[in-house]
Amino acid sequence: MEAALACLPWQHVTEEESAFILEARLDKAAFFRMLDALSGVGLDESPYAGAIFAIYCQGDAGATFDALQKCLGRVRRAAALYDALAAPALTFGSFPALLEAFAARSEGVDAASVAGDWATACGSGGLREAFDRYDTNGNGEIDRAECAAMSLVLGGCHDAFLEFALDEQLDVHGYGRALARVGLVDVSKVLSGQFVDGVWARTSGADGVGLVPFCVGVGRLLRPVAWRMEDIAGWPGLAAVGRDDAASREAVGALLRTLRTGDAILSRIDDPMGSFLQFSLDSPFNHVAVVVRVDALAAAPPNEKTETLLRAFPFRRASHKFCSPGYCLCHAAAPFKFAPSALDSGGLLLLESTGEGIHVYDLAHRLFQSDATACVSCYGVRRRLGGPSDAELAPKAADFVARVRGSLYSTVRDEFKESIAFRLSDAAPPRTPKSPPREDALEHRSHFCSKVVYSFYKETGLVSDDRAAATVLPPDYTDRPDHPLASPVDFVAGVSLAPLEILWSPSAVLPKLPWKPGKPNSKPEFNA
Q: Is the pLDDT of residue 431 over 60?
A: no
pLDDT tier for residue 432 given thresholds of 50, 70 and 90:
very low
Residues 318 and 340 in one domain: yes
**Helix (H) / strand (E) containing 122:** helix 114-122
Do 441 and 479 meet the contact criterion of CB atoms below 8 Å apart?
Answer: no
Least Cα distance to 123 among 212, 32, 22, 13 occurs for 212
Is the pLDDT score of 20 beyond 50? Answer: yes
Percentage above 70 pLDDT, the chain: 73
Q: Do residues 234 and 195 both lie within one domain?
A: no
Q: Which of 189, 206, 222 lies at the terminal end of a domain, its last residue? A: 222
Residue 147's H or E segment, with its range, is: helix 144-164
Predicted pLDDT at 266: 95
Question: What is the arithmetic mean of pLDDT over 149-156?
Answer: 91
Question: Is position 241 within any domain?
Answer: yes
CB 508 within 8 A of CB 241: yes
The last residue of one of the domains, among 202, 222, 242, is: 222
Phi, psi of 189 (to 5 degrees): -105, 0
Q: Are 263 and 382 in contact (CB under 8 A)?
A: yes
- Mean pLDDT within 173-187: 81
Residues 182, 274, single domain; the answer is: no
Same domain, 277 and 217: no
Mean pLDDT of 91-103: 83
Residue 4 lies in a domain: no
Are 434 and 359 contained in the same domain? yes
Q: What is the pLDDT confidence band of residue 428, given thresholds at 50, 70 and 90?
A: very low
Check which CATH number belongs to the domain holding 44 and give it.
1.10.238
Residues 178 and 253 in one domain: no
Domain that holds residue 199: 15-222
CB atoms within 10 A of CB 400: 23
Cβ-based neighbour number of residue 375 at 10 Å: 16
Does 330 share its domain with 477?
yes
Is the model's pLDDT at 389 over the cut of 90?
yes
pLDDT digit string (tens) for 254-295? 999 999 999 999 998 877 777 777 776 777 888 999 999 887
Pick the residue with more confidence: 412 or 31?
A: 31
Could you tell me if residue 51 is inside a domain? yes
Smallest CA-to-CA distance from 259 within 384, 353, 360, 343 is with 384
pLDDT at 14: 67
Q: What is the residue-averaged pLDDT of the chain?
A: 78
Judged against a pLDDT cut of 80, whether residue 440 lies above it is answered with no
Task: Give 230-242 pLDDT, tens digit per residue.
Answer: 788 888 888 888 7
In a domain, residue 526? The reply is no
Using an 8 Å Cβ cutoff, are 477 and 266 in contact? yes
- Do 239 and 144 fall into the same domain? no
Query: Which pLDDT does position 500 carry in this prediction?
Result: 93
Residue 513 lies in a domain: no
pLDDT at 180 over 80: yes
Query: Across residues 63-76, what is the average pLDDT?
Result: 87
- 63 is a domain residue: yes
Taking residues 394-414, what's their average pLDDT? Answer: 84
Residue 4 banded pLDDT, cuts 50, 70, 90: very low
**25-39, 45-59, 187-201, range with the lowest pLDDT:** 187-201
Per-residue model confidence as pLDDT tens digits over 329-362: 887 665 555 555 778 888 889 999 998 889 999 8
Does residue 332 contact residue 338 with C-beta atoms inside 8 Å? yes
Please tell me whether residues 185 and 296 are part of one structural domain. no
Q: Which residue has the higher pLDDT, 366 or 339?
A: 366
pLDDT on residue 11: 54
| Phi, psi values for residue 16, rounded to 5° | -65, -40
**% of the chain surpassing 90 pLDDT:** 16
Structural domains in the chain (count)? 2
**Contact predicate 156/182, CB 8 Å:** yes
Based on the fold, state whether residues 470 and 495 are members of the same structural domain. yes
The whole-number average pLDDT for the span 369-381 is 87
Residues 6+ apart with CB under 8 A from 247: 240
Q: Is 432 buried (19+), middle (13-18) or exposed (0-12) by CB count in 10 A? A: exposed
Q: What is the pLDDT of residue 290?
A: 97
Whether 527 maps to a domain, the answer reads: no
**pTM for this one?**
0.75
Which of 222, 238, 272 is the C-terminal boundary of a domain? 222
Note whether 313 and 166 are same-domain residues. Answer: no
Can you give the pLDDT at residue 498?
Answer: 95
385 by DSSP, 3-state: which? Answer: strand
Separation between Cα atoms, residue 518 and residue 316, nearest integer Å = 35
Q: Look at residue 8 and tell me if it is in a domain.
A: no
Maximum average pLDDT range among 213-227, 364-378, 451-465: 451-465
Examine the domain organization and report whether 247 and 195 are in the same domain: no
Give the domain CATH number at 437.
3.90.1720.10
Average pLDDT over residues 485-511: 84
